[in-house]
Structure 1
Amino acid sequence: MTLRVLHLSAGNLYGGIERLLTTLALERACCEQMEPSFGLCFDGKVAAELRSEGVPVHLLGDVRFSRPWTMWRARRGLRNLLRRERYDVAICHACWPHALFGSVIRDVGVPLVFWAHDIPRMVHWSERKAAKVHPDLVLANSKYTAERLPTLFPAVKTEVCYAPVSLGSAHLSPTIREDVRRELETDSADVAIVMFARMEEWKGHDLLLAALRKLNDLPGWTCWIAGGAQRPSEHQYLDRLRNLASESPVSGRIRFLGQRSDIPRLLAAADIHCQPNMGPEPFGLAFIEALAAGLPLVTTEIGAAAEIVTPACGRLVPPADPSALARALRELVTGVKSDSQLSDACRNRAAELCAPASQILQLMRLFRGLAGSRATSGGQ
């Protein structure tokens, strides 16, 4: 019997949650017994990507909590959708959609799952609202996240499920490498260090720039920084980074690429991935995507990075330490091309943690258990 699952998210930004949603659509053939659909409030990039994959996308209307009528409209739309389509499980990805839709899902009687993609700190209004509606199951994107979830839902069963990540897209034609390097004015012999992340200060862009200054004496490397600003604060942060880079002695070796839709191409043309977080990463899809492309990781030893990075596939350094970061980068820049086993170790680590077949089957087993409990208790 097909298990019908509805994923609910905001849809107005694009980051790790949105990449997960598109992966669930792209890799749905891994478990044909589970049929994913998606409910979004905003019609943006993720909605377009999901439609291109041929999965059902239901737009519930732009929502602002400061405008109660937009919430009422979206909740009414979801209620009608749940009654019409009779989903077996509904999943709220993060606190904002859970605060908005959790009570509706509860009222209709569909099993409710909260997928935690961040660490709850109980300081934002969406966290406090979300905490009022207890789900039937909590999914945590890492052990690090799971250990901190009792502050949000203290008595709810929690399962750790690493996000599925498409592993095949990074294996592109060898000519892609040269094409991308010509496009980015990067010598074919250079070691390319890439960082692709939201323009948020805690991601550590400025720490990376500080470490790169210390590699001024080291020839043969270029750094690509990919990612666009989506909020006013991110635009200000990006301007500051550009100014820092322009004043650096290695400014000629740093490329700001802006928002990119071709991350697999960039990874196929790069050699090292570096994202030196200043705050804890709840998981880090970018880490897995880089590993899947055969790129060793350099990041800080905080958050879930310790669950991902091993000495075989990267380096962990202390946070806020540009000298330690520079030493790790120097080691890899000088040795990455001579280590024939490094790329294979990176790809193997990505598959071990996040192969779509195993992760989506884990989801199916968990959701099947919830749907079975619902049927036993009488359903809606």
Structure 2
Amino acid sequence: MKVIQLLPALNSGGVERGTLDLARALVSAGHESIVVSSGGRLVAQLEREGSRHIALPVHKKSLTSLRQVRPLRRLIQELQPDILHVRSRVPAWLTYLAWKKLSHKSRPRLVSTAHGLYSINRYSAIMAKAEQVIAISDCVKNYLLDNYRDYLHAEPETIYRGVDTSEFSPDIPSPAGWLDTTLEAFPALRSKRWLLLPGRLTRWKGQEDFIQLVAELAKSRSDIHGVVLGGAEKNKEHFAEELQVLAHRLGVAHRVSFVGHRSDIREWYRHAALVYNLSKKPEPFGRTVIEAAAMGTPIIGYDIGGPAESLRGCFPAGLVENGNLKALLETSHRLLESDEKPVLAPAFTFAEQAGRTIALYEKMLAENRAGNGACN
């Protein structure tokens, strides 16, 4: 197969990571992988791993982007791909407008991945207009069915995002000296059991609940230390200051370390006693849940959205009613005294994600050959 993925840019983020992962899997399986974007720092890695990148300005939320429809249509006619796979709204609009005027008999199959719980409007509806929509969780699938059913040509197919077990595995040795270097940088962690909350610093990610939890646990445990891993969003640095003020007010400033954004998150999972996902509103998926599960570290999370699906699949013992701080405290005490470990379910591995995505492509192409592929 020849597959073209389209997204705004290749800099950083879950969509970009998913694009590179699938591109690598396509190449490994002997398919031809092409990515269209406005460019970015990940282009070099994409090309190094065997895919071709084509730069087009398909990222701007502006009517001027409509000028890219004809060049994109010419590119599709020139490349003759089997699959067009869109991953974001602006590229999805441009691709759809370019694609729908191509001959029904020869045009590629059109797939979208819904990575989020998009705002409910006609602009976002484009993600539901592909011939087949992939939802990254049942939470996203149900959201699409509830809000975009009239646009869907087929029921969305849930294909969970998967963790790469060649990157996240307790069998991979720690980098030499990692623990010593980390303890030198954060000496308060020495001889403690780490409670880890990864995620960017924003109000609905649960950092306030986490600090309150540490304060409650500290009343009866001298061996625990909270770790808030993640940086503040641009123009929201004041929230990081608010969290530190909260820790001081609750008397646990010496029990909570703010370690910022990290590129070595695997090692923090490895050395943590517990990992938390405390998002207060539904998230489309829970990557930190499956990464921690892959490392064999118990996870506690609120029973809401995509992260709850990951927990039910890998570690249901860690599910807590959304916002229930008493249950959060009780579950933390219980798991700190338990030997229970998560087991990464196959559905949450990247091998499964890639295999099911490629199988979906092949099914759609088989429908074409049978004369059943149709979407206007």
Say yes or no: TM over 0.5.
yes
The offset of 1:115, in angstroms, is: 0.8
Deviations, residues 65-99 of structure 1 (Å, cap 9, x unaligned): 24x33x13544453343233222111122434323
Please tell me the residue identity of whatever aligns with 2:162. P
Tell me the residue number matched to 1:99: 93
Q: Per the alignment, do residues 41 and 88 of structure 1 end up closer, same or farther by CA in structure 2, a change over 3 Å counting?
A: same
1:1-380 superposed matches below 5 A: 3-11=1-9, 14-28=12-26, 32-44=29-41, 46-47=42-43, 49-51=45-47, 53-61=49-57, 63-66=59-62, 68-69=63-64, 71-108=65-102, 109-123=107-121, 126-128=123-125, 130=126, 134-150=129-145, 151-154=147-150, 155-157=152-154, 158-171=156-169, 172-174=172-174, 176-217=178-219, 218-232=221-235, 234-310=236-312, 312=315, 314-332=317-335, 334-335=336-337, 339=339, 342-343=340-341, 346=342, 348=343, 350-375=344-369, 377=371
Q: Per the alignment, do residues 362 and 312 of structure 1 end up closer, same or farther by CA in structure 2, a change over 3 Å counting?
A: closer
The offset of 1:54, in angstroms, is: 4.3
Please tell me the residue identity of whatever aligns with 2:367. S
Task: Describe the SS at the equivalent of 2:218.
Answer: coil
The offset of 1:298, in angstroms, is: 0.7
Deviations, residues 166-195 of structure 1 (Å, cap 9, x unaligned): 012233314544544444335453221222
Choose 4-13 or 88-97, whichever is displaced more: 4-13
How much identity, in percent, do the aligned residues show?
A: 22
Choose 304-313 or 202-211, whichever is displaced more: 304-313
The offset of 1:227, in angstroms, is: 2.1
Q: How far apart, in 1, do the equivalents of 2:200 and 2:69 lie?
A: 30
Q: Per the alignment, do residues 21 and 256 of structure 1 end up closer, same or farther by CA in structure 2, a change over 3 Å counting?
A: farther
Task: Describe the SS at the equivalent of 2:196.
Answer: strand
Q: How far apart, in 1, do the equivalents of 2:34 and 2:248 lie?
A: 45
Task: Describe the SS at the equivalent of 2:133.
Answer: strand
**Are the aligned partners of 1:4 and 1:87 in contact in 2 as well (CA < 8 Å)?**
yes
Please tell me the residue identity of whatever aligns with 1:359. Q
The offset of 1:295, in angstroms, is: 1.4
Q: Per the alignment, do residues 230 and 21 of structure 1 end up closer, same or farther by CA in structure 2, a change over 3 Å counting?
A: farther
The offset of 1:323, in angstroms, is: 2.9
The offset of 1:318, in angstroms, is: 1.7
Please tell me the residue identity of whatever aligns with 1:160. T
Please tell me the residue identity of whatever aligns with 2:215. R
The offset of 1:138, in angstroms, is: 0.8
Q: How far apart, in 1, do the equivalents of 2:233 and 2:45 lie?
A: 18
Q: Per the alignment, do residues 36 and 309 of structure 1 end up closer, same or farther by CA in structure 2, a change over 3 Å counting?
A: same
The offset of 1:314, in angstroms, is: 4.1
Q: Per the alignment, do residues 372 and 197 of structure 1 end up closer, same or farther by CA in structure 2, a change over 3 Å counting?
A: same
Choose 190-199 or 34-43, whichever is displaced more: 34-43
May I ask how many residue pairs the two structures share in their alignment? 361
Deviations, residues 216-237 of structure 1 (Å, cap 9, x unaligned): 22211222222233443x4343
Structure 1 runs of 4+ aligned residues shifted over 6 Å read none
**Are the aligned partners of 1:24 and 1:164 in contact in 2 as well (CA < 8 Å)?**
no
Provide the aligned C-alpha RMSD in A. 3.0
What TM-score does the superposition give when structure 2 sets the normalisation length? Answer: 0.83
Q: Per the alignment, do residues 243 and 103 of structure 1 end up closer, same or farther by CA in structure 2, a change over 3 Å counting?
A: farther
Q: Per the alignment, do residues 19 and 264 of structure 1 end up closer, same or farther by CA in structure 2, a change over 3 Å counting?
A: farther
The offset of 1:196, in angstroms, is: 2.0
The offset of 1:375, in angstroms, is: 4.7
Task: Describe the SS at the equivalent of 1:61.
Answer: coil
| Unaligned 5+ runs, structure 2 | none
Please tell me the residue identity of whatever aligns with 1:245. A
Q: Per the alignment, do residues 294 and 196 of structure 1 end up closer, same or farther by CA in structure 2, a change over 3 Å counting?
A: same
Q: How far apart, in 1, do the equivalents of 2:161 and 2:70 lie?
A: 30
Give the number of the structure whose alpha-carbon radius of gyration is greater: 2
Higher relative contact order (CA closer than 8 Å, sequence separation 6+) = 1
Q: Per the alignment, do residues 188 and 56 of structure 1 end up closer, same or farther by CA in structure 2, a change over 3 Å counting?
A: farther
Q: Per the alignment, do residues 170 and 110 of structure 1 end up closer, same or farther by CA in structure 2, a change over 3 Å counting?
A: same
Please tell me the residue identity of whatever aligns with 1:235. E
Q: Per the alignment, do residues 143 and 62 of structure 1 end up closer, same or farther by CA in structure 2, a change over 3 Å counting?
A: closer
